[in-house]
Structure formats: structure tokens, C-alpha cells
Chains A and B, each alone.
Chain A
Amino acid sequence: MKFKNAAVVGAVALTAALALAGCSATSTPSASTTPTADAGVTYKVDPTLTGTLTAGGSSAQANAQTAWTAAFKAQATGVTINYDKSQGSGGGVTNWLAGSYDFAGTDSSLNPTQVTSAQTTCGAGGGLDIPAYLSGVAIIYNLAGVSNLKLSSATIASIFELKITTWNDPAIAADNAGVTLPATPITVVTRSDGSGTTANFTKYLKDTQPSIFTQANGTAWPVPGTSGQQGGAGVVNTVTAGAGTIGYADNSSIGSVTAAQVQVGTSKKFVAYSQTGATNAFEAAATAAPTGTGDLSETLDYSKITNTDSYPIPLLSYVVACTTFKDAAQAKLTKAYLSFILSDVGQKVASVNAGSAPLPTSILKEAVKSLALIK
């Protein structure tokens, strides 16, 4: 992470309880780069706000958005927020570009075509991608008698490329010394619908094991021959109901299914998902790739995640909004809501209620600067 902590945040007083909670969010130990004497990002919601926000997009953010909406409305009772999670990232951005949404949630930042059309929708300033939600992709499995599976990135890639077909394959055995593995055939469960989870997961496979995972990465699962299921819930249900099944899903929605520990980089260390792990991984993997002034697009290179305090498959999702709104009242409202979700408290609310990882403070400080551009 190259962000400087230069942003001076308007020290707006929060209610005592919120401030306390906010501090506890920032005090999460992050071993790598962030200086510890960091003042967090606080934001006080104006209780007199009124109006309706219409938004939608990424379903990965759905639970976080529900929590943010509830928390925001609790502080500004005159506001109604409709976040349509059924649209998906593509639907969210399309509707936002058409002017139907005040902001959109999306799992991938705007592509060059969309950046151009954003200038038509939002004026010369274009749109702003701002990271808002950080979680991890969990590798979930259901194998009788095996409760703490460890998988190296090469093994994961081989399994999902369907090159390993039984659970007692030497490659899996090598990752799990001392564990008796049954000869059950492996059933690989993937997403049949387009999804940001698939995009992040295939990017991880591509970055870490390009020689094994030869298919294209993207929102659609590329390897034919797997069992495709609709939605994260479909994957989780099918993995739970099956025998010898393995799949991937956003960690915040896996419920009580067992998740494998994943090898970090090329080390011999296997880690389970943790919120701190995802935050650390994000700091290690992300490189800013702005498409315009104030844009906070990030490129994740999963092969850079080598530190053993990180979870190797983070999942990032953005909110996008216009720099210039046609309607000043909507601008004010959108800005207030996004400022809230990109504050320490906002991130904490999501991590408590949606299992997400708080974004690094440095990103939140950049976000404050970007949000200041909205008018």
C-alpha cells in the first residue's frame, strides 16, 4: 500500500458509544505497514437528512448494505434506502450508468468503456470507484472424517481444473501429512451464475498457479465438467448435502460448512480465514490503479500475498458514484451515506453484521478525499 496518511479528517464528534466502537475497529493489529498511532476516520451522520436513495448491484455486499442501511436509518430516520442486491454488479453498473441509481455496488472497478460512459452520465469528472467491502473467498468442502483440511495453491488449482479426481490423491495427502484420506471421488461445485466471487477466485488461481490453471479468469466459471449451482447459497447447500464435495463461496455466507486452510504464498504455512488476515492480504496485494482524479480502483495481485498473517484469497467490492450529480439533494444524501459506510464505524458495522473485514484506515482516508469531490 502506497497511501500516505496525510488526510486530515474533520474531527466530527460521534456519540460516545459509536466513537468507542470505532476506535476498537482501528486498533485491530495490522502487522505490516500501518503506523499504529493512527487516528481513525470518523463520521457523524446528520440526523436531519431526508430523502430516498436508490441503489443496487453486487450481491456480495448485500448483507453489509443491509446492516449499513439499518445503521444509517437509525441515525437519520427521514432517509429511505433501497439497495437492490438481485441486480448483480453488471446490473448495478448498467443501471447506474443509465442514471437509475444514485450509486452502485460492484465487484470489479469500471472498465475503460464504462469509464467513458460514466463521463456522459456524471459530467467531466466521471465516476468514482471506492473500495467498500472486503471479505475472503472460502474453500468449503464436505468429506466424512476429515475436519481440518489443508490445501496448497497448486492442489486447489489442480482440483478446480479437475486434474485431481479423488480425495486420496498424493497431492492432497502431501498437504495433509498424518490425515487418512478416503478414496471418495471429488465433486467440484462451482457457481453457475456470473459472480464477483468467481472473478476473485479465478484471478487468485491464475495469479498463483498460472501453469496449472490455464483457463481464462472472469465472472463466469471457465472449467467445464463441474457441478454448477446458482448463487453462493446454492454452492453452500450442495457442498453441505453432498459427499466428497468441494466448492468456493464468500466467507461471510458459508454458515456452518467447514472451510479448508489455504497455503500462503509458497510457504509451508496454511491459514484459515480471519478478518485481520483479509485486511492484511488486501494491503499486500493491492496496487492503486486510478482511472481518474479521486478514483480508488485497486488491482489485486494475489501472488504478492506471502506474509503468513494474511489470508491468501481476499475478495474486494466497490461502490461507484458520480462526481457530479444532477440533483444536489441526492448528491448530499449519497455523500452522507457513502461517508458513513467508509468510516471506521461503518466498516465495523459491516464486520459485526456481515462478517466482512474492515478496510485499512489508509484506504478510508483516501476515500474521504474522494467523497469530498462529490457534488
Chain B
Amino acid sequence: MKARPADRIFFGFSFGSAALIMVILAAVALFLIIRAMPAIVANWQTNSLLTTGPTAGFSSFWAYVGPLLFGTLWVSLIALIIGAPIAIGIALFISHYAPRRLAGILGYLVDLLAAVPSIVFGLWGIIVIRPLLLPLTQWLNDHLGFIPLFAGQASNTGSTILAGSVVLAVMILPIISSISREIFLQTPRLHEEAALALGATRWEMIRMAVLPYARSGVVSATLLGLGRALGETMAIALIISPSIGVSFKILTDGSNAQTIAANLALNFPESNDLQRSALIGSGLMLFVVSLAVNFIARWIVSRSTPGRPKRQRKDGRSAVPSNATSRVDAVALGGASVSGALEGEYE
């Protein structure tokens, strides 16, 4: 195909944008490394700027960020375990189970929740979730306290990892579910109808036609949710009572793991220069975590998606002829399926 001027300009723009992103993001990374360096190389046992305040009592930078790394992963993992299945369930419900008219409203409601700022989730967690979970906390601690997860002195205030994770799970719900929903709605209509025509139950159809097609996208959505969970600051800082250390307990006040982002926000204002370096260094570690998590996820996607062995290969299976055909098919099925396959036009 011949390149026309519009083509070349457009290519130039999109190439330029990609290059610009590289420059910006590389600059941020560089900035972090430069700002973090003094604390990474400092002697934490003798430097008087580090032996007081938030960094007191840690023998080195790594001793400080190690438990924080653990805490970040731990809290995000619990939030993801609670939140991701529910979010995918919501997405499935809206895309494949709910009546069409209702689906539009529900989809909108979930989108709306993505709009609630984290400070509000934090306040909501304090006034609603903390007291709500107190009886459960006490019960789990009394009856299942032999499991390390539920061990320790049960919280009296509600500022537990459990409460923080529940709020975090609610916060990542809208992200995971709205993207998953869009992706479920993009499933080739013919695949779904073929499955149903062969006598598959709805679940079998979803398992055979929808999920394989959507897997990569759902993993991406989950990762975006995880990204938010990893970097979430204010809600966790408001709810969880932190102590920097490796602890699996989720029902206590006094021995909760702390996350990097919350620790950063809590201690940054009152810190001196070197402590600020240490905190920025911990932020740098969050980059490493995000990278590792994304890398693992991409690996999972490329291994487990038969139809899309590499993300970049253009998918040969999505043989959807056109919008119009799938519309007709949807109508032919008596409107049982959500129509508007390519749009997610459920309003």
C-alpha cells in the first residue's frame, strides 16, 4: 500500500507519542533513582538523620523496604483475592446474565463507582467498614485463631488489614469489572451462538467461547486493578494501623504489615531530606513490584491462551463478519443475548 501524506503524518504523531511516553517515563524513573540514591548508599546505623523518626531502628535501606514490599504485596493480594472474582462475576452478570435494560443501568452504576475518589473510600471505610467488620474480626479470632492469619490480639478499633483489604477490593472492583465487561461484550457473537446451538448450557458457552477469548483482556484488567491496589495511598493510610514488619496477621491493630504507598504518604511530610530519599527509594521498589507483576501476568497470558499465543499476533479466530450480521443473529435468538456486540451499547 502506498503511504499517503495523511498516513505519514499520522504515523509520525503516533510514533512521536510513543517516543514521548518513553522519554517521560524514563525521566520519572531516572528522577526516582537520583533522589533515592543518597538513602540507599547511606549508613543507616550511624547517620544521625536516619536514626530518628520513621527510619529509626532499621539497619539498612533493604531492611527498611523489605517488610514494606511484603506488606504491599500482602495487602494487594488479599484485596485481589476478595475483589477480582467478584469483579469478574459482576462483569459476566452484566454482559451475559442480566436483562439488557437492567445491564445498562448496572454497568453505569459500576462505572460511577470508579469515579468515587479514594479519599471518600477511606472515609467510608472508617465510618462504615471498620465497625461492620468488628464482630467478624472477633469471631474469627475466637474460633479460628489457631490459623496464623487470624491469630494475635484481635483489633478493638477495626483498623485491620482485613478492613483495609475489603475497602481496597471495593476500590478495584469498578476498574476490573468495567474493562472485563467491555471485553466480554466483544466476544464474537458467532462463537457464542455456535456453542449454544450445540446445546451448551450458558455456563458452558461462557467457559468455551467467552473466557478463552477474553482471558488476556481480563488479566490486563485485573492487572490494572492490581496496579491501583499496589499504588493506593489514601484509603489505606486512613484505615490500616501500620507497623513495619513481616506479619501475616490480618485481624490485629498492632502487628499489621504496611504498604509502600501508605507509608510514603504518612511519613513524607515530617521527614528530613535523607528520610525523604529513603521513602522515595521505597517508591522505586514499587516500580520493581509492578514490573514483576506485569511480567508474570504477560507470561501467564502467553502460556495459557491457545488462540493468542503471542499478544501481538493478530487473532485468527475472531471471525466476526460484521456488526449487522451479529445483530441479526442476536435478534434471531429472541434477544436472549446482549446485543451490540462490538459496542457494548447497553444504554
| B65 proximal to A (CB < 8 A) | no
With a cutoff of 8 Å between Cβ atoms, the chain B residues found around residue A243 in the complex are: 156
A238 close to B157 (CB less than 8 A): yes
B52 close to A216 (CB less than 8 A): yes
Bound: A222/B49 CA distance, A: 16
Can you list, as one digit per residue, whether each of B116-131 has a CB less than 8 Å from chain A (1) or not (0)?
Answer: 0000000000100011
User: In A67-86, which residues have CB < 8 Å from any B CB?
Assistant: 86
Among residues of A, the one whose C-beta sits closest to the C-beta of B55 is: A220
Q: Shortest CB–CB separation between residue B131 and chain A, in angstroms?
A: 7
| B54 proximal to A (CB < 8 A) | yes
Instruction: Say which size band chain B's interface belongs to.
Output: 20 to 34
Stretch at the interface among A184-192, A283-291, A349-357: A184-192
With a cutoff of 8 Å between Cβ atoms, the chain B residues found around residue A244 in the complex are: 156
With a cutoff of 8 Å between Cβ atoms, the chain B residues found around residue A50 in the complex are: none
With a cutoff of 8 Å between Cβ atoms, the chain B residues found around residue A224 in the complex are: 243, 245, 254-255
Bound: A229/B239 CA distance, A: 7
Stretch at the interface among B138-146, B261-269, B324-332: B261-269
With a cutoff of 8 Å between Cβ atoms, the chain A residues found around residue B54 in the complex are: 194, 219-220
With a cutoff of 8 Å between Cβ atoms, the chain B residues found around residue A237 in the complex are: 126
Instruction: Say which size band chain A's interface belongs to.
Output: 35 or more
| A94 proximal to B (CB < 8 A) | yes
A89 close to B255 (CB less than 8 A): no
Bound: A35/B270 CA distance, A: 38
B269 close to A88 (CB less than 8 A): yes
In this complex, which of B241, B245, B268 has the most chain A Cβ atoms within 10 angstroms of its Cβ?
A: B241
User: In A229-255, which residues have CB < 8 Å from any B CB?
Assistant: 229-230, 234, 237-238, 241-245
Describe B's contact surface by its main secondary structure: loop
Which residue of B56, B130, B269 contacts A90 across the interface (Cβ within 8 Å)? B269
B126 close to A219 (CB less than 8 A): no
A230 close to B157 (CB less than 8 A): no
Bound: A219/B238 CA distance, A: 18
Q: Please name 17 pairs of A and B residues whose Cβ atoms are closer than 8 Å in the assembled complex, sorted by A.
A: A185-B156, A187-B156, A187-B157, A192-B237, A194-B53, A194-B267, A194-B269, A216-B52, A216-B56, A218-B56, A219-B52, A222-B57, A227-B253, A227-B254, A228-B241, A229-B241, A243-B156
Write the residues of chain B forming the contact surface with A, with a CB cutoff of 8 angstroms. Answer: 49, 51-54, 56-57, 126, 130-131, 155-157, 159, 237-238, 241-243, 245, 253-255, 265-273, 275-276
Write the residues of chain A forming the contact surface with B, with a CB cutoff of 8 angstroms. Answer: 59, 86-91, 94, 111, 113-114, 185, 187, 189, 192-196, 216, 218-220, 222, 224-230, 234, 237-238, 241-245
